[in-house]
Amino acid sequence: MTGAVSPRLAADVGEVHAAAREELLGLQAADGSWQGETRTNVVVEASELLLAHWAGLHRGTDTARAANWIRSRQQPEGWWPTFHGGPGHLAASVLSYAALRLAGDPADTPHLRRAAGWVRAHGGLLAVPTVPTVPPLALLGLWPWNLVPTLPVEAILLPTWFPVHPDKLIGVNASLIGTATYSHFRPTRPVGFALTELIADDHPSPGLARRSAATGTAVVDRLARLAGRRRALHRAEQWILDHQDRDGTFAANWASTMDCLVALLALGHPPASAPVRRCVEGLRRFVVDDGDFRRIDMFPANVWDTALAVLALRAGGLPPDDPRLHAAVEWLLRNEADEGAGRPAGGWPYGAPNRFFPDVDDTSMVLRALRSASRPGDPRSPAAAQRAVGWLQGKQLPDGGWSLYKTHSSWFPGRGLLARVGLMESSSPDMTAHALQALAPERGRATEQLRRGTRWLLRAQQADGSWAAKWGCYHLFGTAAAVEGLLDCGTPPSHPAVRQGVRWLVNRQNPDGGWGESIRALVEPELAGRGESTVSQTSWVLLALIAACGPEHEAVHRGMRFLVSGYRDQDEPWAEPQHTWVVVPHYLYWIDTLMRLVCPTWALARYLEAKEDR
């Protein structure tokens, strides 16, 4: 459907795009990269306060400022949410309460009394989901180790094809191996208080499910010891030492780095040893000092941010020989992962430095950025792009789709529970669509992969015409990605699947012209594609609609007006406090603060480009 367009719309879009592009360019770092802040929720800051106390890391006002941040996130009723506008969350509230007690807040202060009352009313301490909440509590004597379900460290000795080998359970397995290692030692440093005031009167002991899980863990643990615990601990220790990156971190994220630090200390590495010192120094990378507040940037996504910034700037007409794009491409080339082989492997991670854990999503975006901004006469970008093509081809799953990391899709009892806590990947529409977009120009080389991937994506469409993403929030991101992926692979706009996807997106447009979907949609299906409009989600949808319908569609016009007014008329242009990315479903979500700028800059540029093509 097309509609009359205001004569001013294209001019307004051009003006806002020019301003946004300059703002984006102004955020480029001296090394050529871009990096927003990845904000999660208080689960991270509370866990960091607890673990840092165990490891003796906090200095000066670190604890006080971390506690200030946690208090600032508490809601008037006493609870803490895990996403913007979300309900109270039991695990987040228990961890936050424990962290504030550790920071010196007495249990009888009004804010902690409210918190304890809310926790008891919602099941109490013993109703807390144990994975991954309780290890920080157990390390401080606030939770019994026999009720900590962990993977026995002997799992690292299993054949790599075995379903519960750490390589099969999760793409970035540093946290898993670190936790399995230190859980063997149960290295407890009591804090001098208990959390008995959080135990609900009607839940005096762990329930049947909790006891069964603990019993199962104990049985597996005893059986695993037959494989040789000493040998397993040695293998795990060597794995940790071998996977420390040049900046001292593990997998470029806070959780993996902290868990490996605890493991090294539990293994007996002294604080002055080189691996521990480098790890402690690396942890500083994740700290955000903001006046009276201290929070944690858990997943610095500088590779993702840089690749998307390059694509947005190229769509807006910045030439590939521009020195700023050249610097960005140079930075991307320097941060190609080698997967421990000592030579470029063809994959990229979400954040760098990270030699060992490239992923499908970031590799797909980097591949597109390298093609878009490759300098004439420089053979390095085309060579890296070809390595990326081969790497992506090798990551296709047997069913034809792609997941973020793994090529493993076997089923076994308990797989669903592991998937619920972020383990055991399977093909997802967002990863598959992005891989297809990256491989689409390689029709001669990747014909079979494109055919199988397209068929998987068509099968994954839901009855209402949408696709549900795994890593972006949810149906809006998945449907927008799927529509673009199908179109880039040659599926015509008239194809029923594309038309249904477009119709679903158009029908989800809000009265203000934007689109938004709440994290609540994961558990409330009626909220699929529904929620307060956000700048980044609106931009993803607009990229898909412009590709499918052109720039003159009425929904595109309304979406463009939403972006223009959001930049001009708000006190903070394109403010976006909503969580729109998923780390662990039901538990951990995140905001990339650069997306509120790079995504609309890209969408505005695509609109102007499409207008010119007409």
Q: Residue by residue, what is the 3-state secondary structure of 97-140?
A: HHHHHHCCCCCCCHHHHHHHHHHHHCCCHHHCCCCCCCHHHHHC
Question: What is the mean pLDDT of the segment spanning 115-120?
Answer: 98
The pLDDT value recorded for residue 321 is 92
The pLDDT value recorded for residue 151 is 84
> Domain with 247 in it: what CATH number?
1.50.10.20
Lowest mean pLDDT among 145-154, 180-189, 380-389: 145-154
Residue 153's pLDDT band (cuts 50, 70, 90): very high
The pLDDT value recorded for residue 150 is 83
Q: Are residues 31 and 82 in the same domain?
A: no
Closest residue by Cα to residue 440 from 396, 470, 484? 484
The pLDDT value recorded for residue 208 is 40
The pLDDT value recorded for residue 201 is 84
The pLDDT value recorded for residue 227 is 56
The pLDDT value recorded for residue 214 is 53
Say yes or no to pLDDT of 404 above 80. yes
Query: How far is residue 366's CA from residue 209's CA, in Å, rounded to a whole number?
Result: 44
Angle of CA points 284, 61, 178, to nearest 5° = 40
Q: Are residues 547 and 401 in the same domain?
A: yes
Say yes or no to pLDDT of 211 above 90. no
Lowest mean pLDDT among 59-73, 209-223, 321-335: 209-223
pLDDT digits over 444-484, tens only? Answer: 888 999 999 999 999 999 999 999 999 999 999 999 999 99
pLDDT digits over 69-84, tens only? Answer: 999 999 999 999 999 9
Lowest mean pLDDT among 185-199, 419-433, 435-449: 419-433
Number of structural domains the chain divides into: 2
| DSSP three-state, residue 589 | strand
267, 296, 325 - which closes a domain: 296
Q: Are residues 54 and 22 in the same domain?
A: no
DSSP string, 2-58: B----HHHHHHHHHHHHHHHHHHHHT--TTS-----EE--HHHHHHHHHHHHHHT--
Residue 420's pLDDT band (cuts 50, 70, 90): low
Range of the domain at 152: 41-296
Question: What is the mean pLDDT of the segment spanning 500-505?
Answer: 98
Query: How far is residue 490's CA from residue 488's CA, in Å, rounded to a whole number?
Result: 5
Say yes or no to pLDDT of 204 above 70. no
Residue 501's pLDDT band (cuts 50, 70, 90): very high
Lowest mean pLDDT among 233-242, 363-372, 386-395, 411-420: 411-420
The pLDDT value recorded for residue 239 is 96
Q: Are residues 25 and 67 in the same domain?
A: no
The pLDDT value recorded for residue 212 is 46
Residue 289's pLDDT band (cuts 50, 70, 90): very high
Asked, for residue 2, whether it belongs to a domain, the answer is no
* Rg, C-alpha atoms of the chain: 24
Asked, for residue 270, whether it belongs to a domain, the answer is yes
Greatest mean pLDDT range, 174-178, 218-222, 494-498, 518-522: 494-498
Q: Are residues 465 and 531 in the same domain?
A: yes
**How many residues comprise the chain?**
614
Phi/psi of residue 290, each to 5°? -130, 75
Question: What is the mean pLDDT of the segment spanning 148-153?
Answer: 87
Say yes or no to pLDDT of 412 above 60. no
Query: How far is residue 539's CA from residue 602's CA, in Å, rounded to a whole number?
Result: 8
Asked, for residue 1, whether it belongs to a domain, the answer is no
The pLDDT value recorded for residue 209 is 43
The mean pLDDT value of the chain amounts to 92
Q: Are residues 393 and 437 in the same domain?
A: yes
Question: What is the mean pLDDT of the segment spanning 366-373?
Answer: 97
The pLDDT value recorded for residue 588 is 92
Q: Are residues 314 and 194 in the same domain?
A: no
**DSSP label at 581?**
E
269, 296, 323 - which closes a domain: 296
pLDDT digits over 516-537, tens only? Answer: 999 999 889 999 999 999 999 9
Residue 613's pLDDT band (cuts 50, 70, 90): confident
The residue type at 480: A
Say yes or no to pLDDT of 207 above 50. no
Q: Are residues 64 and 12 in the same domain?
A: no
Residue 205's pLDDT band (cuts 50, 70, 90): low
| DSSP three-state, residue 61 | coil
Question: What is the mean pLDDT of the segment spanning 574-602?
Answer: 95
Angle in degrees, 0-180, between the axes of helices 302-315 and 7-26, rounded to the nearest 10? 140
Q: Are residues 47 and 34 in the same domain?
A: no
276, 296, 316 - which closes a domain: 296
Share of the chain above pLDDT 70, in %: 91
Phi/psi of residue 288, each to 5°? -110, 110
Q: Are residues 285 and 326 in the same domain?
A: no
Q: Are residues 285 and 325 in the same domain?
A: no
Contacts of residue 152, defined as CB under 8 A and 6 or more positions apart, other chains included, come to 180, 220, 221, 224, 225, 232
Q: Are residues 369 and 474 in the same domain?
A: yes
Query: How far is residue 356's CA from residue 304's CA, in Å, rounded to a whole number?
Result: 16
